[in-house]
């Protein structure tokens, strides 16, 4: 089953994302890739390097993160469009859109979407037997208690 994999990388992590994509090219090429801004362009180039024209992969490119790409991705997660997120973010640099980054991290937890924030975790996710399991159904938590609770 084709998975819909979102890829995001802060500027200082883009090289690491490209390296990871190149190392996992054969697996990623079998799935639908959605990425923010420049990351999408770089990932598409990495996936299509030395590949015949008939086998080229098209990456769905969203806006740049600070220009709304993180929010677009959050909307896709909320509507069930994303199966997995790989988000290489820079923990040492303040981002001008930190609130969007935090919202994206929150929404993946809220909707129980697996997320890797570093290369090791990304390697674990993509090599997990559950990644290849067509019958695996991610469980979504009910938040009805939060929605229907009375404010005192």
SS3 (DSSP) at 132: helix
First CA to last CA across the chain, in angstroms? 47
Per annotation, catalytic residue among 11, 19, 50, 70: 70
**Distances in whole angstroms, Cα of residue 113 to Cα of each of 23, 39, 106, 141:** 23, 20, 10, 11
Residues 38 and 65: their CA atoms lie apart, in Å, by 9
Token pair of 44, please? Answer: 């598409």
Token pair of 103, please? Answer: 């919202």
Residues 11 and 28: their CA atoms lie apart, in Å, by 21
Catalytic status, residue 70: yes
* Residues marked as catalytic: 70
């Amino acid at each position: 089953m084709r998975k819909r994999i979102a890829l995001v990388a802060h500027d200082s992590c883009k090289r690491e994302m490209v390296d990871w994509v190149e190392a996992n090219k054969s697996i990623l090429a079998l799935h639908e890739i959605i990425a923010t801004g420049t990351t999408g362009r770089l990932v598409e180039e990495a996936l299509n390097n030395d590949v015949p024209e008939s086998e080229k992969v098209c990456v769905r490119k969203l806006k740049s993160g600070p220009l709304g790409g993180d929010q677009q991705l959050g909307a896709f997660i909320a509507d069930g469009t994303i199966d997995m997120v790989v988000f290489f973010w820079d923990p040492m640099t303040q981002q001008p859109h930190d609130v969007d980054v935090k919202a994206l991290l929150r929404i993946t937890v809220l909707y129980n979407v697996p997320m890797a924030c570093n290369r090791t975790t990304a390697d674990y996710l993509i090599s997990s037997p559950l990644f290849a399991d067509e019958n695996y159904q991610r469980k979504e938590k009910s938040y009805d208690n939060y929605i229907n609770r009375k404010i005192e």
